[in-house]
């Protein structure tokens, strides 16, 4: 096969140490793997901004490609590949493309990120680096306590400085092949602030930092290749400068400082936690108080490499509100009117799908042996075996995480509501006699393989949450390691979802953060109950109101939020506000089971309605995606124009696609902001 010499050119500005690279659908461009991407040559002159490279491509074969900006670091081993950190990459729904036909071609692609006049870029995901998040907030108690009486009523400002620990000569000699992290990346702390009113995202700090306030969530972000080799200094300043200012003092109002070695976090071996650090005065050097630092450590997915073929993380096609089946066909355990089919089973999910649900929502967590399973509650009931069959069954509550997947399939288990029922036997007899698709605790992989691919999945990731009164979900104060937990679930989806539409969601803000930064393909919705009379207030400040949830979603660059209907019906302005910020908004809760409320929410502009018993509202019918697919086929194939929409049985029998996620076909979805630009 003959080849062509293709020169690619792109214009863009880069930070010191940053380079532009090209990644595409053929081996010469890395087969969508950024680790194998081709680095572009830097501009020759100081005032030039055009990057270029020449690549040999096969003649006459279409090639798709994207540009990205990032760092190429030294390999971990002498013969190993470069470590590539993606800072910003092009995420247009359709990548750039070329079909080379001439011997030599020059392709001037204009400005980085702009294709067909529309700019669409996204921040990169974690490939080889670790992200450390340090947070100061009043969720549980004031983060700073200083014992001096004169500071009892003071408001403090905080600034964080990052230092890399020095290595001695012997260590440097033994570590010649370790990655060389660009100076700017290694020694820069990005500061963020979230509140009900606003958010500040990843920018530098003023000399005396920012003030700690009860309604503020202050967060510091550090990305590093050496997460256990950093020194972090917190400096505390008095807001009103009541502290005596020394002449020519470069730190006016400085009260004291606290030091955190990142190796302390590494030695704990946890993905999240709270540390208490001593605050030391400057002169004399003694302990004057303490600071409570909340942290999470985000690591790349272990055992899976994300590619650059497609990203749907910030895409949503404008439509009327989509119908989303809550737990499949609906809540069958705790709501006023129970669903006919047991919730979160394959039968329940299929029932919702057959009645036109565009998405089905269900809950996922792990068994003791780390199998992702579909079940709502963190606990269940187990039956005690009695010596005499005539004695009534005795039940006790057990955490799902304490049972292996096989035990969940074989043991007599029931929902925790069985504890309130007199006849405990009835709770188990119904389950024993049910078919496979009616059984609780199906594995996530089985669900992915058993529900038609035209039905999207809203996968709610379960995690323990603490209430404002200190009580934990299911009385579980400890759980899995968050990085390990999410890696297992994400890999199951990324490797088995095929072309299915996927949205992740969670009530736990840190889970949303980690999912967004661990993978680059699927979108995330932050679930919030807002201000509710039905549910107890949560400890996490970010979960307490819809306005702060909106700001958190913007801060983390999520697709949007999923809000309790009680809050939205009481405050429809929240919907307008979220949409004006470019966010997708779903609504959930018992109020959405009322058709009149659903009509109101549709008129207000919500994008998705999560509700029970979809079969009460819809006959058996194809969903919106299946109808759109038929309409596309009619346009492409004239002989189909006389066809009517097929019956749901046509789609029910569709086999589940088990393609690798890189085979996911391109959905006709649009970025909300880009859509608005086109309208304007």
End-to-end CA distance of the chain: 47
Mean local confidence (pLDDT), 418-423: 60
Residue-level pLDDT at 638: 74
Question: Which of the four pLDDT bands, split at 50, 70 and 90, describes residue 74?
Answer: confident
Quick one: tokens of 622? 């194809």
pLDDT digits (tens, 9 = 90+) for 578-593: 999 999 999 999 999 9
Cα separation of 320 and 605, whole Å? Answer: 8
Cα separation of 36 and 196, whole Å? Answer: 43
Mean local confidence (pLDDT), 637-662: 53
Mean local confidence (pLDDT), 103-107: 95
626: left (phi over 0), alpha (psi -120 to 50) or beta: alpha
Cα separation of 680 and 117, whole Å? Answer: 13
Q: How far is CA 222 from the centre of its chain?
A: 18
Cα separation of 179 and 197, whole Å? Answer: 41
Report the DSSP pairing between strands 359-366 and 322-326. Answer: parallel
Quick one: tokens of 37? 């991407």
Whats the size of the chain, residue-wise?
Answer: 680
For residue 500, give the 3-state DSSP assignment. Answer: coil
H or E segment to which residue 102 belongs: none
Looking at residue 214, the DSSP 8-state letter turns out to be: T
Q: Say which residue, 441 or 73, is predicted with more confidence.
A: 441
Q: Say which residue, 636 or 674, is predicted with more confidence.
A: 636
Residue-level pLDDT at 382: 85
The CA angle 532-375-393, to the nearest 5 degrees, is: 105
The CA angle 396-400-401, to the nearest 5 degrees, is: 125
What percentage of the chain reaches a pLDDT higher than 70?
A: 85
Cα separation of 9 and 454, whole Å? Answer: 39
pLDDT digits (tens, 9 = 90+) for 116-149: 999 999 999 999 999 999 999 999 999 999 988 8
Q: Say which residue, 178 or 414, is predicted with more confidence.
A: 414
Helix, strand, coil percent content, the chain, rounded in steps of 5? 25, 30, 45
> Going by C-beta distance under 8 Å and a sequence separation of 6 or more, which residues neighbour residue 644?
none
pLDDT digits (tens, 9 = 90+) for 344-393: 999 999 999 999 999 999 999 999 999 999 999 999 988 776 666 656 67
Quick one: tokens of 124? 């990169």
Residue-level pLDDT at 602: 97
Report the DSSP pairing between strands 130-137 and 287-298. Answer: antiparallel
Residue-level pLDDT at 673: 41
Mean local confidence (pLDDT), 477-504: 97
Residue-level pLDDT at 52: 96
Burial class (CB in 10 A: 0-12, 13-18, 19+), 408: buried
pLDDT digits (tens, 9 = 90+) for 284-342: 789 999 999 999 999 999 999 999 999 999 999 999 999 999 999 999 888 888 899 99
Mean local confidence (pLDDT), 432-444: 84
Residue-level pLDDT at 589: 96
Residue-level pLDDT at 388: 62
Q: Which of 179, 210, 176, 173 is nearest to 195 (CA)?
A: 210
Contact 309, 585 (CB under 8 A): no
Residue-level pLDDT at 133: 97
H or E segment to which residue 6 belongs: strand 3-11
pLDDT digits (tens, 9 = 90+) for 531-544: 999 999 999 999 99
Q: With 50 as the cut, is the pLDDT of residue 598 above it?
A: yes
Contact 494, 304 (CB under 8 A): yes
Looking at residue 59, the DSSP 8-state letter turns out to be: T
Contact 530, 549 (CB under 8 A): yes
For residue 576, give the 3-state DSSP assignment. Answer: helix
> Going by C-beta distance under 8 Å and a sequence separation of 6 or more, which residues neighbour residue 55?
5, 6, 7, 8, 22, 28, 29, 38
Question: Which of the four pLDDT bands, split at 50, 70 and 90, describes residue 244?
Answer: very low
Q: Which of 342, 135, 337 is nearest to 221 (CA)?
A: 135
Q: Which of 212-221, 241-250, 644-653 has the highest mean pLDDT?
A: 212-221
Quick one: tokens of 362? 């269900």
Cα separation of 557 and 517, whole Å? Answer: 10
pLDDT digits (tens, 9 = 90+) for 450-489: 999 999 999 999 999 999 999 999 899 899 999 999 999 9
Bridge partners (DSSP) of residue 528 are 563
Contact 454, 629 (CB under 8 A): yes
Residue-level pLDDT at 419: 60
Q: What Rg value do the Cα atoms of the chain yield, rounded?
A: 27
Residue for token digits 């046509």?
650
Quick one: tokens of 75? 């390999």
Residue-level pLDDT at 415: 78
Mean local confidence (pLDDT), 156-180: 61
Sign of the four-CA dihedral 278, 282, 283, 285: positive
Mean local confidence (pLDDT), 507-511: 98
> Going by C-beta distance under 8 Å and a sequence separation of 6 or more, which residues neighbour residue 103?
4, 5
Please state at what angle helix 546-555 crosses helix 573-580, rounded to 10 degrees: 10
For 179, 307, 558, 590, the CA distances from 606, given in Å and listed in that order, are 47, 32, 16, 16
Q: Which of 222, 273, 265, 306 is nearest to 481 (CA)?
A: 273
Contact 608, 586 (CB under 8 A): yes
Minimum mean pLDDT range among 6-20, 73-87, 171-185, 258-272: 171-185
- Rounded to the nearest integer, the mean pLDDT of the chain is 87
Looking at residue 198, the DSSP 8-state letter turns out to be: -
What percentage of the chain reaches a pLDDT higher than 90?
A: 70
**What is the SS3 string spanning 281-306?**
CCCCCCEEEEEEEEEEEECCCCCCCC
Contact 8, 37 (CB under 8 A): no
Mean local confidence (pLDDT), 642-667: 47
Minimum mean pLDDT range among 259-273, 376-390, 464-478, 652-666: 652-666
Report the DSSP pairing between strands 3-11 and 104-111. Answer: parallel
Residue-level pLDDT at 246: 43
Q: Which of 60, 59, 63, 62 is nearest to 22 (CA)?
A: 63
Residue-level pLDDT at 82: 77
Quickly count: other Cβ atoms within 10 Å of residue 322's Cβ: 22
Q: With 90 as the cut, is the pLDDT of residue 235 above it?
A: yes
Question: Which of the four pLDDT bands, split at 50, 70 and 90, describes residue 185?
Answer: very low
Q: Which of 107, 101, 82, 102 is nearest to 30 (CA)?
A: 82
Quick one: tokens of 274? 């709270």
The CA angle 373-130-517, to the nearest 5 degrees, is: 50
């Amino acid at each position: 096969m003959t080849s062509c010499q293709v020169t690619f050119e792109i214009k863009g500005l880069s930070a010191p140490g940053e380079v532009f690279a090209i990644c595409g659908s053929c081996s010469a461009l890395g087969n969508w793997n950024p680790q194998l991407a081709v680095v572009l040559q830097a501009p020759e002159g100081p005032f030039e901004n055009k990057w270029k490279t020449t690549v040999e491509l096969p003649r006459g074969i279409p090639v798709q490609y994207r540009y990205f900006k990032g760092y190429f670091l030294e390999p971990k081993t002498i013969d190993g590949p470069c470590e590539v950190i993606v800072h910003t990459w092009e995420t247009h729904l359709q990548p750039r493309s070329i079909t080379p036909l001439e011997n030599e071609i020059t392709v001037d692609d204009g400005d980085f990120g702009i294709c067909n006049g529309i700019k669409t870029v996204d921040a990169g995901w974690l490939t080889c680096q670790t992200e450390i998040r340090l947070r100061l907030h009043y969720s549980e108690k004031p983060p700073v306590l200083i014992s001096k009486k004169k500071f009892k009523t003071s408001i403090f400002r905080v600034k964080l400085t990052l230092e890399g620990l020095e290595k001695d000569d012997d260590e440097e000699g033994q570590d010649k092949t370790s990655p060389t992290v660009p100076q700017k990346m290694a020694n820069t702390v990005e500061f963020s602030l979230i509140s009900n009113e606003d958010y500040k995202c990843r920018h530098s700090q003023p000399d005396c930092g920012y003030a700690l306030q009860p309604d503020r969530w202050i967060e510091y972000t550090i990305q590093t290749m050496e997460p256990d080799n950093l020194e972090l200094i917190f400096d505390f300043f008095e807001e009103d400068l009541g502290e005596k200012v020394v002449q020519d003092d470069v730190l006016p109002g400085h009260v004291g400082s606290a030091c955190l070695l990142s190796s302390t976090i590494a030695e704990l071996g946890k993905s999240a936690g709270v540390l208490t650090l001593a605050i030391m005065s400057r002169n004399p050097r003694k302990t004057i108080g303490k600071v409570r630092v909340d942290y999470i450590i985000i690591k790349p997915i272990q055992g899976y490499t994300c590619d650059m073929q497609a990203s749907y993380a910030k895409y949503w096609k404008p439509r009327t509100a989509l119908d989303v089946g809550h737990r499949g066909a609906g809540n069958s355990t705790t709501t006023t009117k129970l669903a006919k089919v047991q919730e979160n089973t394959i039968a329940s999910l299929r029932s919702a799908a057959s009645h036109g649900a565009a998405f089905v929502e269900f809950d996922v967590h792990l068994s003791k042996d780390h199998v992702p399973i579909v079940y709502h509650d963190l606990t269940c009931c187990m039956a005690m075996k009695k010596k005499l069959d005539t004695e009534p069954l005795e039940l006790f509550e057990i955490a799902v995480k304490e049972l292996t997947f096989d035990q969940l399939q074989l043991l007599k288990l029931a929902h925790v509501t069985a504890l309130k029922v007199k006849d405990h036997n009835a709770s188990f007899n119904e389950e024993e006699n049910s078919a496979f698709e009616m059984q609780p605790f199906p594995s996530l992989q089985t669900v992915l393989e058993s529900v038609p691919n035209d039905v999207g999945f809203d996968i709610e990731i379960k995690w323990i949450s603490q209430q404002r009164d200190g009580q934990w979900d299911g009385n579980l104060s400890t759980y899995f390691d968050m990085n390990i937990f999410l890696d297992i679930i994400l890999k199951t989806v990324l490797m088995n979802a095929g072309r299915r539409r996927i949205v992740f969601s969670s009530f736990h803000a840190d889970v949303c953060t980690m999912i967004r930064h661990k993978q680059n393909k699927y979108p995330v919705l932050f679930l919030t109950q807002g201000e509710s009379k039905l549910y107890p207030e949560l400890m996490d400040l970010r979960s307490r109101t819809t306005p702060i949830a909106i700001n958190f979603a913007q801060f983390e660059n999520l697709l949007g939020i999923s809000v309790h209907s009680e809050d939205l019906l009481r405050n429809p302005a929240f919907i307008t506000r979220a949409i004006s910020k470019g966010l997708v908004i779903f609504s959930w809760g018992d109020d959405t089971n009322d058709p009149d409320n659903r009509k109101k929410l549709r008129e207000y502009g919500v994008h998705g309605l999560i509700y029970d018993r979809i079969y009460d509202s819809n006959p058996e019918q194809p969903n919106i995606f299946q109808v759109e697919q038929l309409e596309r086929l009619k346009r492409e194939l004239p002989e189909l124009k006389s066809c009517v929409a097929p019956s749901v049985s046509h789609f029910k029998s569709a086999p589940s696609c088990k393609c690798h996620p890189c085979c996911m076909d391109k959905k006709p979805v649009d970025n909300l902001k880009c859509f608005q630009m086109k309208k304007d």
